[in-house]
Structure 1
C-alpha cells in the first residue's frame, strides 16, 4: 500500500466513529445542511466537512458544491446535504395474506424500482421466498444498481435469535417456519450481495415511520395497524424497536376488547385481531368479501365511498370503539408520547377522528387533559420501507462496510 493510500486509510479510521451518526442524520432528513450536521454531531465545522466529504466519496451522500441559505434563515450559508440517488440500494420484500411485493430501496427510504408481485402465497415458504428473491434479482439486473443487503417483512411474530415465524396465522405456512434462514439462503444463491434480515411487518412499519414518516421525533412511539388480515403493534423507544426478550413483544392483536366477541385464532375470544381488521369491518357492514381485490382495499373503498350509508357508518363506529378500547389499555401500560395508526385503522381515524380520540381519552388513566396524540401513518408501503431499514442498518452503523 502506497503512502497516500495509507494516509487515506488512517484518516478514515480516525473519523470512523462519526461516519455512522452523520449518515443516519442525512438518511433520516435531520441534517439537510452541513451546518445542521455540525450542530447535531457536536463537532467542529472542519470535522463535519471532512465527514461529509468521506460519505460523498463512498457514494452515499451528495454535498452541494455551492452553499445556500434556507428561505428566511440568517447567518452564513451552508452546503446542502442529500442522499446520493445513484448510490447503492437494498432489496426489500414483504409477504402478506394476499401476495408479496419486492422493491429496491435506496437511502432516505426512496423506492427505486418495484416488481409486480403475486396475488397468492403458497404453503411452502421456500417457494414463496424463492419467487420474491427472483423478482428482486431481476430488478437488480434491469437497473444495474449495486445491492448491499436484503430485508424481509412477514405477517408473523419472528422469534429471536432463531428467525422463525411463530404464528403466520393468515398464511398457509406451518408455525415455526425458519423464514430468516430460508430467505438468507435464497439471497445468497441468487448472488445478491450483503446480509439478509427478517422481521415482523408492523415492527418494521413502525421503524420506517419513526425514521421517515409520522413518528419522526417521537421518543416513545406506539404503532398499531391492520393490513390485509389481523392487527399488529410495535413500540419504538429512543429510535430502537422494542421487541422484548425473544422478539415477541407488542402482540397487541391478542388484547381482548370484546369478551363475547368472535373466536380468535389464538384460542381466545374477542381479540383486536378479529374485532378490528378488514374482515371484521366488512362483516359488520353486512358485506360478503369478494375475491377481486384484497380485503383491505375493499374495506378502504367502502369506507371512503359509502361512509354516509347507515350500515357502513355503524360498522365503522363499532370498529373504532373496539380499537379505542385496545389503544386506551396500551396507553395506560406503555405511556407513549405518540400513537400512529396504519392500514384500515388509519382510514378509520381519518373518517371519524373525534370518536376514536374520545374513546381513548375516556378509558385512559390521564383523561382528556393528558391525551396522547393519535396520527395516521404517512408512508406508502411502510413495512417494505422498514424491511429496507433492517438491511441499511449495518451501513448506518459502519458506512465503511460499503467498501468491502
Structure 2
C-alpha cells in the first residue's frame, strides 16, 4: 500500500474502513464470523493486528480458518485499498454494518451482510419499506396488480425494494419510477455490471431516484447460488414482502420464507387455481405463511399505517405520568406512548435516540415489568 493512497483513503473515510472492507474478503470469513471477530476484538483493525494465539482463542475459529486469516490478510488489505479507491471514483458508498446509513431493519437479522455496496439517493432507513417480488414469467394479471400495489404506496411515500430481475421485479421498479417513489434494486452480482443487461437503463434511472445495492465486491459475476443470498437482503430490508405471482417452486418463495423466518410480514396475491403463476402465492396463503393481498387496505391494516404511523397528536388530557426512577431510555418510550397512545415500533424507533436493538430490549423490559403491553401489528401501549 502506498503512502499516498493510504492518505487519500483516510482523508475521506473512517480510519477503520480499510480493515472493515478487507475482513469479508478473506476466504471463508462470512458475515457471521466477521461480526464474531469484531465483537471479540472491538474493531476490524484489531482483528488484523491480533496475534495467532489470540485469534485461535475466538469461539468458532478453527485451524483452517485461522490459517486463512493469517495467510490472506495482507492480500485482503491490498484488495480493500483498491476497492475503496474504486468506490470513491464510481460514487459507490461502502456501508459497513455499524454505519448509520446501513439498513437498520437488515442489521438486526442474524445473517446480515457485514458490508454493503450502495449507489443511489434513497434513504435505506425510510419510515416505510415494502419489497415486491414475483415470477419472471409474469402474466398481464401480475403486471396490473403490481402497478396497482405501487400506486397505492404513493400516499405513504414508501421505499420499494425488489431484485431487478425480469418479470414482477422490474415491473415494480418501473412502476415506482413512474409514480415518483424511490426504488432500490438488490443485485446478485457487483454494482458495475447490471444483470440482466436489458435493465441497464432502468438501473441508471434508479440511481437517480432510489439506488442499486449489493453485498458482493467489484468483479463478482452473477451466479445462481448468489440469488438466494440476494433474496435475504430483499426480505430483511422491508417491513413487508409482497409476492405478486409465483409458480409452485418460484424463487420469490425463497424471499417469502426468509421474511417469514425473520418474523417480518409477508403478503401474497391470490390468483386463479388454474394459473401456474399463482400456485406459489395460493400455497403461501394456504400454509399461513402469508396474508392475502386483495386491496391496499389489507396492507395498511396489517402494518397499521392507517393509524399508528400518523404524526403525533397533541398530548391528551390523561392521568399524570410519573417517570421518576425510570432510566432515560425507558422514559423516552413511556413519554411517547403517554402522548400518542398505541404506537408502532417503527414510530418509536424514529422518535427516540435508540437503535432498533436497544428499543426492542427496552420494550421487552417494560412489558415484563407490567408498564406496557404488546398489541397485534407491532403496536405498543401503556397499561
- Taking structure 2 as the reference length, what is the TM-score of the superposition? 0.33
- Taking structure 1 as the reference length, what is the TM-score of the superposition? 0.32
Greater fraction strand = 1
Q: Which has the higher contact order (CA 8 A, sep 6+)?
A: 1
